[in-house]
């Protein structure tokens, strides 16, 4: 099968660890595209500097920049906030900042020999060709792997990191709206896509949800909807207002999740997250979602939107991650680019020994 991962020894199957598993680093492509954040880029950079400061307290942060001058600019923004030894600047130019989607996806294995950490390089077409050019973004997975000194496996299938979510124990979440969209892999049917997800991420179960939230230009990425917070538990966003366009789709996703059992027979525990107050840019509804949090080694970066539900979302995640500090950062400017912290980050797991 195309895209197959070959193990060097029996039982050496690769598997994508859960996001809360130990990281050796978090990888970011620094925001720079003024078309993505018209009039908001300085505010976005300030928020990202705060985010890096929080992450760097417990892990290395690797940052892609356009060139040397851009690297100096980023270092100035981080000066006094982040110890220099906690950041590595890479002159890997990108078209945009969405490292979750254009970056490598890392998988590991516990085999007795061979490679323990592998970078997967899926095809990337800027969410169905919406935002050309994306030629620079497409080089990033290989450059990330080279910087880490690990091999890279090219997978002949369009897939973004924000479209999948794993628990590290054999289950994967995704949406039909995204992965079955004709602008991704029109020649592949659902069964073939599911088989490739199982093969490349080392999972036994694919949990399919339906549609994403209004304003999400990624065609329904799972990281704006439903996230694993434990191997048998998810949080999922729910809209309380029946008149809101998100209400029906999120209720349908909630119903699907309520019927899920894990491969070992356990029912999936489902915790509801609120939706924030509506945010707009002109006539465009923005995809603000508390589900777009990012789990670091000792912190959880939570996007907030200056509304009453911010505190409720923070309290829910604090109960889900009792050993981590919830870092709530105002993302009203960041979400103008149609994504927040999870979209802007990619974890590099610690390789098994």
Query: What CATH code would you report for 23-349?
Result: 3.75.10.10
State the greatest distance between any 2 C-alpha atoms of the chain, in Å, as a whole number.
56
Q: What is the CA radius of gyration of the chain?
A: 19
Using CA atoms, how far apart are residues 48 and 345, in angstroms rounded to an integer?
Answer: 10
Using CA atoms, how far apart are residues 270 and 283, in angstroms rounded to an integer?
Answer: 33
Tokens representing 166 are: 């794993």
Residue 319, SS3? helix
> For residue 282, what pLDDT band results from cuts at 50, 70 and 90?
very high
Tell me if 11 sits within 8 A of 111, measured CB to CB: yes
Using CA atoms, how far apart are residues 96 and 94, in angstroms rounded to an integer?
Answer: 5
Using CA atoms, how far apart are residues 237 and 282, in angstroms rounded to an integer?
Answer: 24
pLDDT exceeds 90 at position 105 = yes
b/e map 181-216, b = 16+ CB within 10 Å: beebbeebeeeebbebbebbbbbebbbbbbbbbebb
pLDDT of residue 176: 98
75-94 pLDDT per residue, tens: 999 999 999 999 999 999 99
Active-site residue 343, yes or no? yes
pLDDT of residue 197: 97
7 or 125: which carries more pLDDT confidence? 125
**C-alpha closest to that of 232 among 171, 163, 294, 175:** 171
Q: 328: which DSSP letter? A: E
Tokens representing 173 are: 């979440």
Catalytic residue, from 99, 178, 320, 343: name it. Answer: 343
pLDDT of residue 352: 72
Q: Kindly list the distances between the CA atom of residue 335 and the CA atoms of 1, 153, 213, 282, 293, in Å, as whole numbers in the listed order.
A: 38, 32, 14, 13, 12
pTM: 0.95
Lowest mean per-residue pLDDT among 6-15, 74-83, 206-215: 6-15
> Looking at the DSSP assignment, which residues form a beta bridge with residue 318?
none
Tell me if 350 sits within 8 A of 22, measured CB to CB: yes
pLDDT of residue 9: 32
Residue 304, SS3? strand
Q: What average pLDDT does this structure show over 269-289?
A: 96
Tell me if 269 sits within 8 A of 325, measured CB to CB: no
Which sequence spans correspond to the domains of the chain?
23-349
216-259 pLDDT per residue, tens: 999 999 999 999 999 999 999 999 999 999 999 999 999 999 99
Residue 51, SS3? helix
Using CA atoms, how far apart are residues 98 and 29, in angstroms rounded to an integer?
Answer: 7
pLDDT exceeds 80 at position 4 = no
Tell me if 45 sits within 8 A of 111, measured CB to CB: no
Look-up of token digits 């789709």:
249
Q: 9: which DSSP letter? A: S
Tell me if 157 sits within 8 A of 105, measured CB to CB: no
């Amino acid at each position: 099968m195309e895209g197959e991962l070959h193990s060097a020894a029996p039982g050496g199957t690769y598997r994508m660890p859960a996001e809360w598993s130990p990281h050796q680093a978090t990888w970011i492509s620094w925001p720079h595209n003024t078309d993505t954040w018209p009039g908001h880029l300085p505010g976005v950079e300030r928020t990202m500097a705060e985010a890096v400061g929080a992450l760097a307290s417990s892990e290395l942060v690797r940052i892609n920049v356009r060139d040397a001058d851009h690297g100096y600019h980023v270092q100035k923004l981080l000066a006094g906030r982040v110890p220099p030894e906690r950041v590595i600047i890479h002159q890997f130019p990108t078209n945009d900042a969405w490292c979750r989607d254009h970056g490598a996806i890392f998988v590991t294995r516990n085999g007795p020999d061979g490679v323990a950490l592998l970078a997967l390089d899926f095809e990337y077409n800027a969410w169905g060709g919406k935002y050309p050019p994306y030629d620079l973004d497409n080089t990033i997975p290989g450059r990330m792997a080279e910087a880490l000194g690990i091999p890279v496996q090219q997978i002949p299938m369009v897939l973004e990191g924000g479209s999948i979510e794993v628990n590290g124990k054999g289950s994967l979440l995704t949406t039909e709206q995204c992965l079955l969209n004709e602008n991704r892999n029109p020649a592949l049917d659902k069964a073939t896509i599911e088989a490739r997800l199982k093969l490349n991420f080392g999972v036994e179960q694919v949990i399919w949800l339906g549609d994403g939230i209004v304003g999400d230009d990624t065609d329904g990425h799972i990281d704006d909807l439903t996230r694993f917070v434990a191997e048998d538990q998810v949080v999922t966003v729910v809209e309380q207002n029946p008149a809101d366009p998100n209400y029906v789709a999120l209720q349908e996703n909630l119903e699907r999740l309520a019927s899920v059992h894990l491969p070992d027979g356990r029912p999936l525990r489902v915790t509801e997250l609120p939706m924030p107050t509506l945010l707009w840019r002109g006539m465009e509804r923005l995809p603000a979602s508390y589900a777009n949090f990012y789990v670091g080694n000792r912190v959880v970066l939570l996007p907030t939107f200056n509304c009453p539900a911010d505190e409720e979302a923070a309290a829910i995640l604090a109960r889900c991650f009792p050993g981590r500090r919830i870092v709530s950062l105002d993302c009203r400017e960041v979400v103008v680019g149609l994504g927040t912290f999870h979209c802007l980050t990619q974890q590099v797991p610690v390789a098994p020994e």
